[in-house]
């Protein structure tokens, strides 16, 4: 006889709820809440570490003061110029220049200090965006919302347990500590790259059309962050198209949003300055190749830190992490995974190749940090497994050795001059943190003494450095210009700090010299210092004929320079930067900008006179 009690006894037991991870009380992996806390710490802690390390190495060098002189001119109402008497774009990072100006306007603080603090903020934000992008990409989001990163296919809705990996390669590199905040645009570069990666991951993560539009606009800012980041913009925009595959109208909207600000500023640049790129790009001949010097610069960065060791481990981590991601996403999403990984990796390789091709830089590691940052983005964090844990442990051992044992060289390059700028300016200023203009302008260098003496005399003077920090001459200034003082020396940042804004600072290396930038290159050892300006050009430009010349300045060369300055394209180049900016002048600058950008002339005044003016 079957009774209700018998049936109850014979019925199968109800299934127990599945548990993805064992309870932490039993010694297993953390539960959902624990994983969320862990992954949040994996994002926040490395960003906090880079913020602290950057603060401990905070400084500003001579190149930062080039930016801040232009910023001070903007704040004084004189526009984006180095000197009020000529229109020259001395800032390579256009967006950085205006960001520092906005910070100075809002705070009223020393622009040098604003640049240092803003650089630290941008670097930290870039790391936060980069880490959170990796967290989302690998399914480690700590919330239960929608999207691939939130649900973490193959795991629970609380995400997967992640380990810091690629970020460990950047944290112990001392060049990273130096340029996390140096007053230069490098901090903004990290911020833009991190944000771009985060937005690309959001697009992969079933982002909304609004995310796609914002991403397109942000990706398009690369040329304004630095012109050499234009390939990154192109690769990220193309990757966004591959991920979303929108209609034609949407693509047109994205392109318009991406190109609007860079194109508008390019029109302004061509009409205002008369050339198509910032002047340092012309001086450095950014379209030519110096592979030997670039290779020396690459080795100067990778060699001291033994970077080839963690990069090999990162390649293994990338392969493992991408394979894992492909296994844990639906088939319809799998094609997006290689696109998201390839975008920063391809961009990083292109940037590193470009830096090497053009001959690198003279600051240790500075120009190779953004490519390294890009290469590491897909594995800033990786999912925990036995294999990834072992690889990350190996990276950690290298990181400890790098932080404690391996230091950048004070100088080197094996055929190319490369310098540890941070250490150099700490020694030169006598301050552990030279983050104010006074730390640089207060240095009693010979040039500062000569210019102070000329200003105190009350006479209108041209002060020219003939030999680096050793010999100066002071000549009467021509009546053609309104300034009281024109000072010419190799340290443009320092001269811009000690010369008043309504007087003129002249760069004898051509980086911000409207004529010197167009010289034909005569030196190939130190990047950015390839076009020393013959002092005869400066004397001819800023003194009247018949002036008594001191020993060391050849009268024949001065006479040749005076004549060459009135001939052909050189005279037109001079007018493009110094004539009053009327609508007609703006249009003439705009329409002639391509020709003017490509124009080069001999560095020797005698050769220039023969070439530009003829033998008569």
Give the per-residue pLDDT at 158. 45
CB atoms within 10 A of CB 175: 24
Which residue in the block uniquely carries the two structure tokens 């994002």?
A: 43
How far apart, in whole angstroms, are the C-alpha atoms of residue 143 and residue 135?
A: 11
Percentage with pLDDT > 70 across the chain? 90
Tell me the CB-side half-sphere exposure of residue 430, using CA atoms within 13 A: 6
Per-residue pLDDT at 411 exceeds 70: no
How far apart, in whole angstroms, are the C-alpha atoms of residue 173 and residue 399?
A: 8
164, containing H or E segment: strand 162-164
What number is the average pLDDT over the span 120-129? 97
DSSP-derived letter for residue 543 is: S
Closest CA to 61 of 116, 108, 105: 116
- pLDDT tens by residue, 237-287: 999 999 999 999 999 999 999 999 999 999 999 999 999 999 999 999 888
Report the predicted TM-score, pTM, of the whole model to 2 decimal places.
Answer: 0.91
- pLDDT tens by residue, 439-494: 988 887 889 999 999 999 999 999 999 877 678 899 999 998 999 999 999 889 99
Give the per-residue pLDDT at 1. 46
Closest CA to 291 of 207, 214, 348, 352: 352
Give the per-residue pLDDT at 147. 38
Closest CA to 542 of 452, 606, 463, 600: 463
CB atoms within 10 A of CB 222: 27
Tell me the CB-side half-sphere exposure of residue 236, using CA atoms within 13 A: 34
Find out whether 141 and 152 touch, Cβ atoms under 8 Å: yes
How far apart, in whole angstroms, are the C-alpha atoms of residue 181 and residue 192?
A: 15
Find out whether 95 and 222 touch, Cβ atoms under 8 Å: no
* Residue 600 in tokens: 């080069």
Give the mean pLDDT of the chain.
Answer: 88
Give the per-residue pLDDT at 584. 96
Sequence-distant (≥ 6) Cβ neighbours of residue 453 within 8 angstroms: 474
How far apart, in whole angstroms, are the C-alpha atoms of residue 73 and residue 101?
A: 9
Backbone torsion region of residue 285, taken as left when φ is above 0, otherwise alpha when ψ lies between -120 and 50, otherwise beta = left
Closest CA to 341 of 201, 192, 186, 238: 201
Helix extents (H) in 430-503: 437-441, 446-457, 492-498
Give the confidence band of 29 by pLDDT, cuts at 50, 70, 90: low
Residue with the bigger pLDDT between 3 and 207: it is 207
Cα angle: 529, vertex 542, 93; to 5 degrees: 40
DSSP-derived letter for residue 382 is: E
Give the per-residue pLDDT at 333. 80
Would strands 485-489 and 504-507 be described as parallel, antiparallel, or unpaired?
A: parallel
Q: Which long-range contacts (CB under 8 A, 24 or more apart) does 251-255 make?
A: 253/213, 253/216, 254/212, 254/213, 254/216, 255/216
Residue with the bigger pLDDT between 3 and 409: it is 409
As beta bridge partners, residue 162 has 383
* Residue 37 in tokens: 């806390």
Per-residue pLDDT at 138 exceeds 70: yes
Closest CA to 19 of 9, 29, 27, 11: 29
Per-residue pLDDT at 31 exceeds 70: no
Give the per-residue pLDDT at 469. 65
Give the per-residue pLDDT at 157. 34
CB atoms within 10 A of CB 563: 14
Residue with the bigger pLDDT between 149 and 437: it is 437
How far apart, in whole angstroms, are the C-alpha atoms of residue 72 and residue 508?
A: 21
In the three-class reduction of DSSP (H, G, I as helix; E, B as strand; rest coil), residue 162 is classed as: strand
Give the per-residue pLDDT at 34. 79
What number is the average pLDDT over the span 149-172? 70
Per-residue pLDDT at 87 exceeds 80: yes
How far apart, in whole angstroms, are the C-alpha atoms of residue 493 and residue 507?
A: 9
Per-residue pLDDT at 366 exceeds 60: yes
Per-residue pLDDT at 614 exceeds 90: no
What number is the average pLDDT over the span 404-415? 73
How far apart, in whole angstroms, are the C-alpha atoms of residue 461 and residue 470?
A: 19
Per-residue pLDDT at 350 exceeds 70: yes
Find out whether 322 and 558 touch, Cβ atoms under 8 Å: no
What number is the average pLDDT over the span 581-602? 96
Give the per-residue pLDDT at 523. 76
Give the confidence band of 69 by pLDDT, cuts at 50, 70, 90: very high
Give the confidence band of 316 by pLDDT, cuts at 50, 70, 90: very high
Sequence-distant (≥ 6) Cβ neighbours of residue 332 within 8 angstroms: none
């Amino acid at each position: 006889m079957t009774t209700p009690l018998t049936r109850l006894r014979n019925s199968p037991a109800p299934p127990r709820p599945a548990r993805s991870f064992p309870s932490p009380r039993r010694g297993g992996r953390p539960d959902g809440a624990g994983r969320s806390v862990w992954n949040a710490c994996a994002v926040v802690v490395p960003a906090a570490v880079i913020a602290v390390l950057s603060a401990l190495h905070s400084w500003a060098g001579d190149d930062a003061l080039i930016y801040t002189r232009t910023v001070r001119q903007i704040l004084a109402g004189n526009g984006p110029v180095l000197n009020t008497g000529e229109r020259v774009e001395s800032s390579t990072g256009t967006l950085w220049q205006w960001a520092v100006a906005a910070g100075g306007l809002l705070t009223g603080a020393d622009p040098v200090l604003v640049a240092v603090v803003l650089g630290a903020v941008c670097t930290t934000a870039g790391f936060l965006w980069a880490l959170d992008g990796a967290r989302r990409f690998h399914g480690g989001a700590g919330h239960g919302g929608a999207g691939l990163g939130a649900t973490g296919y193959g795991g629970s809705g609380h995400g997967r347990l992640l380990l810091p990996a690629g970020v460990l390669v950047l944290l112990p590199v001392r060049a990273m500590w130096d340029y996390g905040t140096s007053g230069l645009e490098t901090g903004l570069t990290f911020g833009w790259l991190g944000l771009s990666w985060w937005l690309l991951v959001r697009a992969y993560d079933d982002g909304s059309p609004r995310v796609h539009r914002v991403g397109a606009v942000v990706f398009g800012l690369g040329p304004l962050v630095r012109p050499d980041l234009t390939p990154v913009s192109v690769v990220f925009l193309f990757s966004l198209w591959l991920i979303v595959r929108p209609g034609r109208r949407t693509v047109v909207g994205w392109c318009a949003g991406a190109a609007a600000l860079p194109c508008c500023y390019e029109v302004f640049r061509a009409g205002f300055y008369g050339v198509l790129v910032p002047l340092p790009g012309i001086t450095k001949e950014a379209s030519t190749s110096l592979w030997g010097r670039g290779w020396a610069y690459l080795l100067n960065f990778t060699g001291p830190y033994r970077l080839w060791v963690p990069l090999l481990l990162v390649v293994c981590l990338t392969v493992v992490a991408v394979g894992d991601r492909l296994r844990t996403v639906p088939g319809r999403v799998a094609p997006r995974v290689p696109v998201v990984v390839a975008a920063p990796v391809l961009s990083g390789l292109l940037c590193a190749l470009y830096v090497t091709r053009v001959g690198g830089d003279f600051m240790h590691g500075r120009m190779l940090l953004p490519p390294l940052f890009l290469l590491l983005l897909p594995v800033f964090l990786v999912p925990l497994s036995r294999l990834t844990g072992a690889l990350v442990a190996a990276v950690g051992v290298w990181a400890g050795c790098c932080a404690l044992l391996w230091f950048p060289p004070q100088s080197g390059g094996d055929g190319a001059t490369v310098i540890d700028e941070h250490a150099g300016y700490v020694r030169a200023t006598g301050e552990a943190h030279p983050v104010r203009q006074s730390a640089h302008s207060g240095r009693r260098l010979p040039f500062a003494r000569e210019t102070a003496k000329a200003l105190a005399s009350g006479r209108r003077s041209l002060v020219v450095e003939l030999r680096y920090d050793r010999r100066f001459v002071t000549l009467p200034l021509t009546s053609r210009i309104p300034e009281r003082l024109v000072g010419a020396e190799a340290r443009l940042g320092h001269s811009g700090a000690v010369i008043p804004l309504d007087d003129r600072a002249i760069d004898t290396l051509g980086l911000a010299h409207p004529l010197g930038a167009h010289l034909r290159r005569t030196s190939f050892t130190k990047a950015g210092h390839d076009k020393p300006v013959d002092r005869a050009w400066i004397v001819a430009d800023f003194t009247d004929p018949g002036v008594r010349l001191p020993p060391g300045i050849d009268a024949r060369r001065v006479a040749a320079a005076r004549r060459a300055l009135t001939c052909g394209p050189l005279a037109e180049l001079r007018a493009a930067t110094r004539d009053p900016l009327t609508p007609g002048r703006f249009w003439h600058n705009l329409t002639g900008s391509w020709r003017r950008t490509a124009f080069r002339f001999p560095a020797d005044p005698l050769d220039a006179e023969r070439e530009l003016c003829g033998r008569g």
